[in-house]
Amino acid sequence: MSIRRVSSVGLVAVAAAVLLIPASASAQWRVGKDSATRWTRFGRDLAYGAVVGLGYAAVDQAFNSPPQWGGGMAGYGRRAASNVGEFVIQESVTEGLAAAMKRPLDYQRCQCTETKQRVWSAVEQSFTDKMPDGSYQVAWPRIIGSYVGAAAQATWRPSNGNNKFAQAALNGTTSLGLGVFINLFYEFRHHKPPTPNATQAQ
């Protein structure tokens, strides 16, 4: 696996994402609570993913995974390129499909008070998109992006005797699962929903 190969695959994915953004999506062009454009969000996500990818590369380096890539800076460079490349592809596909399908990507906090309801909301929105009308749709952009990114990484990462298809399926599912914990963070971070007794206390 070469850094050039990862970069080439990533550029192809970015180009595909651009082609997926229809001109008719102008009504959905600004997304998020800060009215950021989809391009701004995409840039932020790529920057975040690059940092996370570098961090995961350090973990892989510590465990010498995969061993074929060796140690030192050369080994770390391969692992970093692999992890960042996977994220670039995943986010390119996810953001491109979300724009084409006019899907929101930001997590929407639950307007509820019970902890179990809030936890369920975080789980539910990991696999569904909450639409402006309050309905839920299967989160195809997120699901497809996760598995495409994992499948792409499987093409250049040494298999160590493992089935590449099975490994890609496992990594894609793991990526979706991590979304649950990210949503839980957003749901409970600095967020205290009103309690039934709040009004009476006043």
For the stretch 13-51, pLDDT in tens is 444 544 444 433 443 444 555 557 888 888 888 898 899
Residue 145 CA to residue 129 CA, distance in Å, equals 14
Closest listed residue to residue 1, CA positions, set 173, 189, 162, 159: 159
Closest listed residue to residue 148, CA positions, set 84, 82, 90, 97: 90
* Whether the Cβ atoms of residue 45 and residue 96 lie closer than 8 Å to each other: no
Q: At what angle do helices 115-127 and 140-156 cross, to 10 degrees?
A: 60
pLDDT score of 28: 43
For the stretch 85-121, pLDDT in tens is 999 999 999 999 999 999 988 888 998 889 999 999 9
pLDDT score of 8: 52
* Whether the Cβ atoms of residue 9 and residue 89 lie closer than 8 Å to each other: yes
Instruction: Assign 161 a pLDDT band (cuts: 50, 70, 90).
Output: low
Q: Coil, strand, or helix at residue 136? A: strand
Provide the b/e sequence for 11-43 (b: ≥16 CB within 10 Å): eebbeebeebbeeeeeebeebeeeeeebeebbe
Over residues 173-194, mean pLDDT: 84
Alpha helices in the chain (DSSP H): 3-20, 38-62, 72-101, 115-127, 140-156, 164-188, 198-201
Question: How large a percentage of the chain has pLDDT more than 70?
Answer: 74
pLDDT score of 106: 85
Instruction: Assign 193 a pLDDT band (cuts: 50, 70, 90).
Output: low
